């Protein structure tokens, strides 16, 4: 059994200048980023690179159509290395761009996991959530299928994951909130996964501690911009730890059940995860109140300073200061949609559902959606 997959070399630099110098960023590099990130941090360095700004190709999380348009644009230039500087959308697109491909995105899914790399890939995350810089998957909204699905292949591991805390100094509250809660969900789900190992749990539980203590500090300081900026480096590292944990042990039912909410109702990834998070954990515990869920609940209770019997309530109390939890109907979900969402999970999310702490059947998935409705 695989204990820990650790493919990209992880580097950390205090400033973008240091990163640019060390990596000799210049001709032959294609930088995929967002203008609002690239301009303030890299424009002054006058790097002779080709830039592609993702937002020119559509807003929101990556879709098959967006990726195909960017692929066509990128193919017009010659490059030896792709440097992705951005959040989950930019990183996920860059992974797909780094692959050899002749057809469209559907063809890549059909060939998965036997995909091939085309050029070197460097990933620089600018949010503290996806952990995607160290994983081999890309999550795309397959608009032609109406759901989000992971494109998974070892060909999608970056050569380098580069952490530059400076890039997170001005993270808007909404992005900080959704991305850091996503990282927490990665850490919890991967630690409860049947594929969890002593190695993944080392990173997973440490990430939980760093994120919860970070949230407590930020909330105590009034959730100010300064308090979040001060915590940025710790959250970036925690998100990377969580990425290493779920890169091997996988995410599970929370992510699987959040995808129909994100894909159809356009709820941000971390927010849709939060809508499902404790609802799934409670059901795990109802089905089997022993083993790793017990360990997890005791750990969460110790981090939150509460007793185990109120651990989910206390967890939500803390998280609601960062991102208020909403019932599903507030996202536009109708009662009739719950069965459709359940069907979608059964049909398209088998990869993730297999990592659930205990198997969840159709009736249980529908029950969880109904409880959260
Ligand atoms: Fe996630």
Of 55-59, 83-87, 312-316, give the lowest mean pLDDT range. Answer: 55-59
How many other C-beta atoms can be found within 10 angstroms of the C-beta atom of residue 15? Answer: 13
* CA of residue 178 to ligand 1 center, whole Å: 10
* CA of residue 260 to ligand 1 center, whole Å: 14
* CA of residue 132 to ligand 1 center, whole Å: 9
Instruction: With a cut of 90, say whether residue 145 has pLDDT above it.
Output: no
Asked if residue 181 and residue 163 are part of one domain, the reply reads no
* CA of residue 243 to ligand 1 center, whole Å: 9
* CA of residue 256 to ligand 1 center, whole Å: 10
* CA of residue 44 to ligand 1 center, whole Å: 33
State the pTM of this model.
0.94
Of 170, 250, 183, which Cα lies nearest the Cα of 212? 183
Whether residue 4 is contained in a domain is answered as no
* CA of residue 45 to ligand 1 center, whole Å: 32
* CA of residue 288 to ligand 1 center, whole Å: 24
* CA of residue 269 to ligand 1 center, whole Å: 7
Last residue of a domain, one of 123, 138, 168: 168
Residue with the two structure tokens 């995929």? 32
Instruction: With a cut of 90, say whether residue 263 has pLDDT above it.
Output: no
* CA of residue 154 to ligand 1 center, whole Å: 18
Residue 25, domain CATH: 3.40.50.1970
Asked if residue 293 and residue 196 are part of one domain, the reply reads yes
* CA of residue 255 to ligand 1 center, whole Å: 7
Asked if residue 183 and residue 157 are part of one domain, the reply reads no
Residue 96 · residue 67 · CB < 8 Å: yes
Structure-block tokens of residue 232: 């940025």
Distances (CA, A) of 118 to 5, 102, 355: 22, 12, 31
* CA of residue 14 to ligand 1 center, whole Å: 26
* CA of residue 182 to ligand 1 center, whole Å: 5
* CA of residue 183 to ligand 1 center, whole Å: 7
Last residue of a domain, one of 168, 195, 213: 168
Whether residue 3 is contained in a domain is answered as no
- Owning domain of residue 214: 173-372
* CA of residue 27 to ligand 1 center, whole Å: 33
Helices (H), strands (E): how many in the chain? 15, 8
Give the separation between CA 51 and CA 239, rounded to whole angstroms: 26
Q: What is the mean pLDDT of the chain?
A: 96
Number of domains observed in the structure of the chain:
2
Whether residue 261 is contained in a domain is answered as yes
Whether residue 351 is contained in a domain is answered as yes
* CA of residue 115 to ligand 1 center, whole Å: 22
* CA of residue 69 to ligand 1 center, whole Å: 24
* CA of residue 20 to ligand 1 center, whole Å: 28
Q: What percent of the chain has pLDDT over 70?
A: 100
pLDDT tens per residue, range 205-241: 999 999 999 999 999 999 999 999 999 999 999 999 9
* CA of residue 258 to ligand 1 center, whole Å: 9
pLDDT at 60: 82
* CA of residue 245 to ligand 1 center, whole Å: 12
Asked if residue 349 and residue 208 are part of one domain, the reply reads yes
Handedness of CA 186, 187, 193, 197 (dihedral sign): positive
pLDDT tens per residue, range 80-112: 999 999 999 999 999 999 999 988 999 999 999
């Amino acid at each position: 059994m695989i204990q820990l997959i650790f493919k990209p070399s992880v580097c950390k630099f205090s400033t973008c200048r240091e990163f640019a110098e060390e990596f000799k960023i210049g001709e032959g590099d294609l930088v995929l980023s967002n203008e609002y990130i690239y301009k303030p941090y890299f424009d002054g360095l006058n790097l002779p690179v080709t830039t592609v700004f993702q937002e020119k190709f559509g807003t929101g999380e990556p879709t098959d159509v967006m990726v195909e348009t960017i692929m066509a644009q990128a193919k017009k230039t010659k490059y030896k290395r792709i440097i992705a500087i951005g959040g989950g959308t930019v990183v996920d697109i860059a992974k797909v761009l780094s692959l050899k491909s002749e057809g469209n995105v559907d063809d890549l899914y059909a060939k998965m996991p036997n995909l091939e790399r085309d050029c070197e890939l460097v990933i620089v995350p600018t949010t503290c959530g996806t952990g995607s810089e160290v994983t081999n998957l890309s999550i795309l909204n397959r608009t032609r299928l109406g759901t989000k699905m992971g494109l998974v292949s070892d060909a999608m591991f970056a050569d380098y994951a580069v952490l530059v805390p400076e890039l997170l100094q001005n993270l808007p509250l909404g992005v900080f909130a959704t991305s850091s809660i996503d990282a927490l969900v990665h850490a919890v789900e991967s630690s409860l996964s049947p594929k969890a190992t002593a190695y993944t749990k080392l990173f997973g539980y440490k990430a939980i501690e760093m994120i919860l203590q970070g949230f407590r500090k930020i909330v105590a300081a009034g959730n100010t911009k300064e308090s979040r900026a001060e915590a940025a480096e710790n959250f970036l590292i925690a998100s990377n730890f969580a990425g290493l944990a779920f890169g091997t042990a996988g995410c599970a039912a929370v992510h699987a059940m959040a995808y129909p909410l994100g894909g159809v109702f356009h709820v941000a990834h971390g927010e849709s995860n939060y809508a499902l998070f404790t609802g799934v954990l409670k059901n795990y515990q109802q089905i089997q109140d022993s083993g790793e869920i017990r360990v997890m609940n005791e750990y969460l209770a110790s981090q939150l300073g509460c007793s185990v019997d109120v651990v989910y309530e206390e967890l939500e109390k803390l998280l609601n200061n960062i991102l208020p939890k909403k019932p599903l109907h507030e996202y536009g979900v109708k009662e009739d949609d719950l069965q459709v969402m359940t069907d979608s999970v059964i049909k398209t999310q088998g990869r993730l559902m297999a990592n659930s702490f205990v198997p969840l059947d159709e009736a249980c998935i529908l029950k969880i959606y109904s409880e959260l409705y």
